[in-house]
Chain A
Amino acid sequence: MHRYSHSAARLFFPPTLMFRSHFGAGCRLWHTAIIALGVAAGCLGRTGADEPSAAEPPNALLFESSASGTSVQSILANRCGKCHSETVRKGALNLAKMEGIRTGGETGEDLIADTLDDSYLWTVIDNGEMPPDDQPPLTDPEIEQIKNWIQVGGQSSNQNQTTKVTLDHHDVTPILLLRCNTCHGPQRTDGGLDLRSRESMLTGGDSGPAMVVGQADSSLMIKRIESQQCPPSESLLKFFVRRPSETEIKTLRQWIDSGAKLSTQETDRQGITPDLLVTDQDRQHWAFQPIQPPTHATSIDSLIADKLIDAGLKRSPAAGRDTLIRRAYLDLTGLPPSWQEYQRWHHHQADDWDAQMIDHLLDSPRYGERWGRYWLDLAGYADSEGGISADPLRPLAWKYRDYVIDAFNRDLPYDRFLIEQLAGDELIDVDQADKVTAEMVNNLVATGFLRMSIDETGSRTMNFVPERLKVIDDALAIVSKGLMGLTMECARCHTHKYDPLPQRDYYRLKAVFQGALDEHDWRTFKNRKLSLATKSQRERIKQINPPLEKQLRSLRNKDKQLNQQLTLQLLRDHYPEQSERDHQETLAALRVADNNRSLKQKRLFERLVTAQLMPPDKQSAAITAIETQIEETITAIETLERQLVPSTQIRALWDQGRPSPTYMLLRGEHDKPGAPVSPGVPAVLTDGETPFDARAPFPEGTPKSGRRLAFAKWLVTPQHPLTARVMVNRIWSHHFGTGLVPTIDNFGVQGSPPTHPELLDFLADSFVKSGWSVKAMHRLIMTSKTYQQSSAISKQTAERDPQNLLYSRMNLRRMDAEALRDSLLQLANRLDVTTGGLPDPVSIDRDGQVTAKPNAAGRWRRSIYLQYRRTEIPSMMDTFDYPAMGPNCLTRNVSTVSPQALLLMNNARVRELTDHFAQRILESNNVHGPIEPLIRRTYALALSRQPDQTELQLGKQAIEAFIADSDGDLPKAWQAYCHTLINSAAFLFVD
């Protein structure tokens, strides 16, 4: 029997190998016309000498013929040929010919093998995976025939096709990248040696050539590797490498012995390499078709009306003016109108008051803080790296946050917005520039977009290639789902199950980013920052910062001392019998990592924690005094930090001008390289003929691959079928609560088709024609009657349009976390509208409750400026569905759960704010006069409307009851009233 390739993966994989899969077995299974029969077991199954095939089976059991007259070949052609033919090679698999079967698909599994159990072809047939559910199944006799054929070895009459495999450099490059590149590659050339090309191997380093062609035994690199001098033991963890596996060493040897050949195959190139994996039929899916704006209708309302009429419905009546005011304010700014603004629009006389109001709101700096937040969700913004439990802060992430807010406020054209974020570093040659301009800084800050994913590679132990690949995968997922509505990350391990996205396309996209996100040329946390600032910024730093920094240093010292003092005081208070030496040893134990403490240290530490956990009434006055001092010191530090001119550093991403070659990874495993691929875009979005054209953007200047710039430019071509559609759908969904394509993140085959395809295209077309203006899109949508209709559900619309897919009304919506918190702050008159800069500090108590700290004036800034450390999300935000960014969030969950009720009802901070609100009401009017005007004012401020008769009546009764309950304490009564109103559904839900 023959073994065509390795089958180690299906043997029991001992636990040792699972983590050691960093070592793993590397082998390449993608050769097209290169198949050997009868090869020894092991990973290099396709190489080595030919062996004569086993005895010829009877004709009946050959691929091409059968006694019954129907051959396996024809069965496979009939049943599987729709997807796996010579011309359609889904999963890169061609079942039409014996070579195709021997080559296998992109998963690298053996289709035929020694035993039935090891045959992947049999596995997928036997477990019913293939043919897929929507295709006619194989008949029992057909299954039986295939089974018999595999059991006797899966033989073919055509034995001449087998060719001897010769290894070429594509077999060894991935091994060298994985095992040797760190010390002998772009970043270091230890011993003067660079192993990146055949030529440089022959040139060698200080100790001579690394290889002798034809003589592995005499080749220095082989000697060094086999004696385990390389990689050196002490460097394994330092440089995050693992030793090559035995099969990898064998491959290196065989390649050298067989002449260290370079590949003669054509390199993969999009548009030039024959594209058999994606067909024109695949391109028929609606989302891949060009945008086709309707010719018969030119407004949102008429396109919505068409479907309503078909369903025997009509648009709901217009919402009242007050409802519209609240809706528009919360929609565009996330804040209710102030008293004056409410009065202004409520009494506005102009016919186009609504358009004027919308313009007014779009001009407000509060707009960017609202809509920028949506984009930060898409980008997966966080102020920490995540991944490891230490969750280190990302001290410079806020610059990207401010960039986004500013871009929305400026109405930066969306195409430019994308280009800056995807390829800001390839727009201007900063390294060669005479002086730094604000635009350069801006462009590089924008690339922070690609550095938002969870990143654990700053850890002492988690910066191996698989962890780096995870970071890259997250970045690709953000780009493909967020910008194109494609779930490309599904194609990392295998061809997409539903969409025409072959695995190759994932790796082509990865190659686009390889110049900057290179798992073999990784930038450590320290090396991801650029110091870039304009002259004036540098001057200000020089002028302003030094004295502040001096103060900061002394304050930080003071803080340290106070904390020690506190510890000692706690110990002396609670353990008077404990010796001073033990007190000191407790301090020492605090400096030791918890898992390295001796038992004695652990005990001492536990005693300290127990003392710390004693309730405040059990603590001495001395403790309270020190704690107050600590708090004051920290506040002083935080205040000073915010007075510093921000650092010149930018957390950016840039092309290093030397991308490593990109290989497909079989099953997504980092040590199972497949075919080399060149950069490209999803083939289904091309005509299959146009090459991906990446050029160095600065041919005379700093070397850069230009791949991301080419990708970004392709993405924003006006004809791109996805970019504009995906964005207008996103804007629509934030206005209406649902998208025209309900699956915001998936425009693929498994996504929901648009409820209003013509409207989607009308909007997308308008968007592009407006110069990609997001603000113009808001105006278009918000001035429509569709947007301005009432959210009331009639019996008729409930019956005929239960899910509101036809937009027969506006959707009622719950405020999100930011709108809720910011509204509360504004009502309480505690909102500080200062923009930008360092995120606002939070404190975390022993129950894990995370609270935003007020500034010196007892105020808070908007929620977007809070510090979002992944492990310390402010509790109020978390409770109201602030998302865990993993890696990002395209649609927030909207939950309605009891912890929200508990928080609004019982939380001290919420109560404090509503008390301030009550105070405002009382200050606004004669408190001893009639109650009604005060109730009206409360409603106007909180809900931007007047109370109806019932509400007025309920309010009056309640106030009177509260006054009675509190023995005439007016402030108490109004506090209870305002707190209750804030808890009511009318406040939380927007009509």
Chain B
Amino acid sequence: MPAPTPNRRDFFSNTRDGVFGVALASLLSQDLLGEEPRQQQARRTYDNRPKKPHHAPAATSIIHLFMNGGPSQMDLFDPKPQLDRFNGKPFPGSPEEIGNFGSAGVGVVMGSQYKFQQHGQSGMWMADVLPETASMADELCMIRSMWTDHPNHDNALYKIHSGRLFMGYPTLGSWVAYGLGSENLDMPAYVVLTDPLGWPKNGARNWTAGFLPPVYQGTVFRPTGAPVLNLKPQYQQSDAINQSARELLRQLDQHHVSSRPHQAELGARIESYELAARMQLTASDTLDLNNESQATLDLYGVGKNPTDSFARRCLLARRLVERGVRYVQVFLEEQPWDSHVDLKDNHRSVCQRTDRPVAALLKDLKRMGLLDNTLVIWGGEFGRTPTAQKTGTRFTGRDHNMQAFTSWMAGGGTKGGLTYGETDPFGHKVVEKPVSVHDFHATILHLLGLHHHNLFFPRSGLNERLTGVNEPHVVQEIIA
């Protein structure tokens, strides 16, 4: 076999995954900031440095407000007069089509639980439990024709986050981090903000990197205490010793590296310790809301019940994208939208917690000129059924509905004030302009300047993609 021709990329191509050492980075910076080679090698380096998109992006970052549990489309965004007229009557179609757990529990049709009104110049419909969001109607791009493939939370969550019904696949956020890297190397590219009350259903699998290198998985910023695990020493040691210890480590490593020239992974390691040190400073600062004005805090509803918790996360999300974090995902605990019982009360309660902070986030982003290139997404994993579900002896909730749900987007190159797609008169199935989860993902990638086909990861002879094998459809009509 002839000796391989050495070049700079080869030289470093067996660098272990991760960030480069400073010295190596300067050697390589030309390559790294240049066009990413799409024909990837079996082993390459994986890092968070910014990558060139495939085409000019409309959005450079994303805030994904994830509404775990499945908000009800016909109660919030998709008014159905027909449904109201059938209130209390049997569903006119086959109950087997409605029930996810056999037809026994399918009850009678349940009309919308709240009053609807049109809002803004666009005349967008929204229920009266979302007064603040409604005030931003002309910024929203409402997609009423979403549908998914599974009526169970677990699988539908895998689907909406990773495009697959099963566990173990990379999520949208990690694909974006892999494709675009981060604008701020002191921070992770993909940050997850969880609810102090608990993690969402499916836990960390909602932000897993799957088979992508772990550097692309979502980093949870904790809602209280130190934002990142192990960010601060969990033992007592004086500052003086800390400082001497850091100096010793630096010298030992320098000595170690200098006696082992050309070992790229050792450089990567030094860099990882340096980033860790920088994160210790910047992460805490980013999470410190004390620098925000009282007016801003009030706008979001920080410090007030019941908005405080979600307001803090929305405000943090803005602070993160402001600092160049690529993808921020905000979660609620467990699955508050999952209203099998007492939907009217339960949905109202979640609206009261989230409505004001969500609207404030849009206003704030707009005020700061960030909304144009920040894509805000609001939505859950599926919708709810037009019929009431029986629990015990009562019919007060709705079951899961994979055949139709509503999500909205705002900013980031989407058309404000647009209502897209249509469901049948009961809000049960999509009848016009269906948007599959793959279409949804392809459209989001498109807005970020990525082409779903060109964003792939080679694995066992197969180029794995977020949007799977079949060609998805970028929903051009919602793009401004």
The answer to whether A799 has its CB under 8 Å from any CB of chain B is yes
B-facing mask of A721-758, CB < 8 A → 1, else 0? Answer: 00000000000000000100011011010111001000
- Complex alpha-carbon distance, A814 and B11, angstroms: 19
A-facing mask of B266-295, CB < 8 A → 1, else 0? Answer: 101111110110011000000000000000
Contact residues in B for A966 (Cβ distance below 8 Å): 238, 240-241
The answer to whether A88 has its CB under 8 Å from any CB of chain B is no
Chain A CB within 10 A, most for which of B16, B404, B434: B16
Chain A CB within 10 A, most for which of B148, B204, B276, B338: B276
Contact residues in B for A236 (Cβ distance below 8 Å): 96, 102
Question: A895–B100 contact, CB under 8 A?
Answer: no
What's the minimum C-beta distance from A449 to chain B, rounded to whole angstroms?
Answer: 19
| Other-chain residue from B155, B240, B261, B266 in contact with A985 (beta carbon distance below 8 A) | B266
The answer to whether A588 has its CB under 8 Å from any CB of chain B is no
Contact residues in A for B81 (Cβ distance below 8 Å): none
The answer to whether B265 has its CB under 8 Å from any CB of chain A is yes
What's the minimum C-beta distance from B195 to chain A, rounded to whole angstroms?
Answer: 10
Question: A15–B147 contact, CB under 8 A?
Answer: yes
Question: B272–A897 contact, CB under 8 A?
Answer: yes
Question: A902–B229 contact, CB under 8 A?
Answer: yes
- Complex alpha-carbon distance, A694 and B262, angstroms: 55
Question: B434–A901 contact, CB under 8 A?
Answer: no
Question: B residues 213-244 with Cβ under 8 Å of A?
Answer: 213-215, 219-220, 222, 224, 228-235, 237-238, 240-241, 244
The answer to whether A886 has its CB under 8 Å from any CB of chain B is yes
The answer to whether B201 has its CB under 8 Å from any CB of chain A is yes
Question: B229–A594 contact, CB under 8 A?
Answer: no
The answer to whether A984 has its CB under 8 Å from any CB of chain B is yes
Question: A907–B346 contact, CB under 8 A?
Answer: no
The answer to whether A545 has its CB under 8 Å from any CB of chain B is no
The answer to whether A950 has its CB under 8 Å from any CB of chain B is yes
Contact residues in B for A951 (Cβ distance below 8 Å): 252, 255
Question: B residues 325-359 with Cβ under 8 Å of A?
Answer: 333-336, 338-342, 345-346, 349
- Complex alpha-carbon distance, A675 and B82, angstroms: 47
Contact residues in A for B101 (Cβ distance below 8 Å): 237, 461
Question: A residues 750-798 with Cβ under 8 Å of B?
Answer: 750-752, 755, 791-793, 795, 798
* A897-B18, A965-B238, A989-B265 known; A902-B276 Cβ under 8 A: yes
* A746-B461, A884-B208, A958-B248 known; A950-B255 Cβ under 8 A: yes
The answer to whether B112 has its CB under 8 Å from any CB of chain A is no
Contact residues in A for B22 (Cβ distance below 8 Å): none
- Complex alpha-carbon distance, A980 and B266, angstroms: 16
Contact residues in A for B167 (Cβ distance below 8 Å): 386-387, 454, 870, 886
Contact residues in B for A12 (Cβ distance below 8 Å): 434
Question: A896–B269 contact, CB under 8 A?
Answer: yes
Residue of B nearest to A308 (CB): B3
Residue of A nearest to B255 (CB): A950
Question: B residues 78-106 with Cβ under 8 Å of A?
Answer: 96-97, 100-104
Question: B429–A798 contact, CB under 8 A?
Answer: no
Contact residues in A for B270 (Cβ distance below 8 Å): 985
Contact residues in A for B429 (Cβ distance below 8 Å): 14-16
What's the minimum C-beta distance from B371 to chain A, rounded to whole angstroms?
Answer: 31
Contact residues in A for B233 (Cβ distance below 8 Å): 905-906, 911
- Complex alpha-carbon distance, A835 and B215, angstroms: 34
The answer to whether A160 has its CB under 8 Å from any CB of chain B is no
- Complex alpha-carbon distance, A848 and B192, angstroms: 13
| Other-chain residue from A743, A814, A895 in contact with B215 (beta carbon distance below 8 A) | A895
What's the minimum C-beta distance from B140 to chain A, rounded to whole angstroms?
Answer: 23
What's the minimum C-beta distance from A785 to chain B, rounded to whole angstroms?
Answer: 21
Question: A984–B252 contact, CB under 8 A?
Answer: yes
Question: B462–A911 contact, CB under 8 A?
Answer: no
Q: Is the interface of B mostly helix, strand, loop or mixed?
A: loop
| Other-chain residue from B251, B279, B341 in contact with A902 (beta carbon distance below 8 A) | B279
- Complex alpha-carbon distance, A961 and B2, angstroms: 54
Question: A389–B154 contact, CB under 8 A?
Answer: yes
The answer to whether B117 has its CB under 8 Å from any CB of chain A is no
The answer to whether A908 has its CB under 8 Å from any CB of chain B is yes
Question: B102–A498 contact, CB under 8 A?
Answer: no
What's the minimum C-beta distance from B428 to chain A, rounded to whole angstroms?
Answer: 9
Contact residues in B for A985 (Cβ distance below 8 Å): 252-253, 256-257, 266, 269-270
Surface stretch bound by B, among A36-44, A54-62, A97-105, A606-614? A606-614
Contact residues in B for A846 (Cβ distance below 8 Å): 198
Question: A847–B222 contact, CB under 8 A?
Answer: yes
* A481-B460, A748-B461, A800-B6 known; A989-B266 Cβ under 8 A: yes
What's the minimum C-beta distance from A907 to chain B, rounded to whole angstroms?
Answer: 5
Chain A CB within 10 A, most for which of B154, B198, B241: B241
The answer to whether B367 has its CB under 8 Å from any CB of chain A is no
Contact residues in A for B263 (Cβ distance below 8 Å): 793, 812
Chain B CB within 10 A, most for which of A15, A799, A881: A15
Number of residues on chain A facing chain B (CB within 8 A): 120
The answer to whether A139 has its CB under 8 Å from any CB of chain B is no
The answer to whether B38 has its CB under 8 Å from any CB of chain A is no
Question: A387–B154 contact, CB under 8 A?
Answer: yes
Question: A389–B4 contact, CB under 8 A?
Answer: no
The answer to whether A18 has its CB under 8 Å from any CB of chain B is yes
| Other-chain residue from A487, A793, A848 in contact with B461 (beta carbon distance below 8 A) | A487
Question: A905–B276 contact, CB under 8 A?
Answer: yes
Question: B213–A965 contact, CB under 8 A?
Answer: no
| Other-chain residue from A389, A973, A991 in contact with B203 (beta carbon distance below 8 A) | A389
Surface stretch bound by B, among A63-71, A344-352, A595-603? A595-603
What's the minimum C-beta distance from A753 to chain B, rounded to whole angstroms?
Answer: 9
Question: A894–B205 contact, CB under 8 A?
Answer: no
- Complex alpha-carbon distance, A848 and B247, angstroms: 32
Question: A487–B6 contact, CB under 8 A?
Answer: no
- Complex alpha-carbon distance, A799 and B402, angstroms: 57
The answer to whether A428 has its CB under 8 Å from any CB of chain B is no
Contact residues in A for B103 (Cβ distance below 8 Å): 233
The answer to whether A986 has its CB under 8 Å from any CB of chain B is yes
Contact residues in B for A884 (Cβ distance below 8 Å): 168, 208, 210-211
Surface stretch bound by B, among A185-193, A570-578, A641-649, A801-809? A801-809
Contact residues in B for A849 (Cβ distance below 8 Å): 229
Contact residues in A for B43 (Cβ distance below 8 Å): 742
- Complex alpha-carbon distance, A988 and B42, angstroms: 25
* A596-B340, A902-B228, A976-B241 known; A498-B204 Cβ under 8 A: no
Residue of B nearest to A752 (CB): B42
* A237-B101, A802-B11, A896-B269 known; A965-B1 Cβ under 8 A: no
The answer to whether A562 has its CB under 8 Å from any CB of chain B is no
Question: B3–A599 contact, CB under 8 A?
Answer: no
Question: A389–B252 contact, CB under 8 A?
Answer: no
- Complex alpha-carbon distance, A894 and B292, angstroms: 40
- Complex alpha-carbon distance, A871 and B101, angstroms: 26
Question: B230–A905 contact, CB under 8 A?
Answer: yes
A-facing mask of B140-155, CB < 8 A → 1, else 0? Answer: 0000000111111111
* A871-B203, A893-B213, A965-B241 known; A898-B275 Cβ under 8 A: yes
Contact residues in A for B100 (Cβ distance below 8 Å): 461
Contact residues in B for A898 (Cβ distance below 8 Å): 19, 272-273, 275-276, 279
On B, residues with C-beta under 8 Å from A are 1-4, 6, 10-11, 13-14, 16-19, 42-43, 46, 69, 96-97, 100-104, 147-155, 166-169, 196-199, 201-205, 208, 210-211, 213-215, 219-220, 222, 224, 228-235, 237-238, 240-241, 244-245, 247-249, 251-253, 255-257, 260-263, 265-266, 268-273, 275-276, 279-280, 333-336, 338-342, 345-346, 349, 391, 402-404, 429-430, 434, 436, 460-462, 469
27 pairs, A vs B, C-beta closer than 8 Å: A15-B429, A19-B402, A233-B103, A233-B104, A237-B101, A389-B154, A456-B154, A461-B101, A481-B460, A594-B334, A595-B69, A595-B340, A793-B261, A812-B263, A875-B229, A896-B16, A896-B18, A897-B19, A897-B215, A899-B230, A905-B233, A958-B245, A980-B245, A981-B252, A984-B256, A985-B252, A985-B256
6 residue pairs, one from A and one from B, having the closest CB atoms: A886-B168, A896-B18, A15-B147, A908-B234, A901-B276, A750-B461
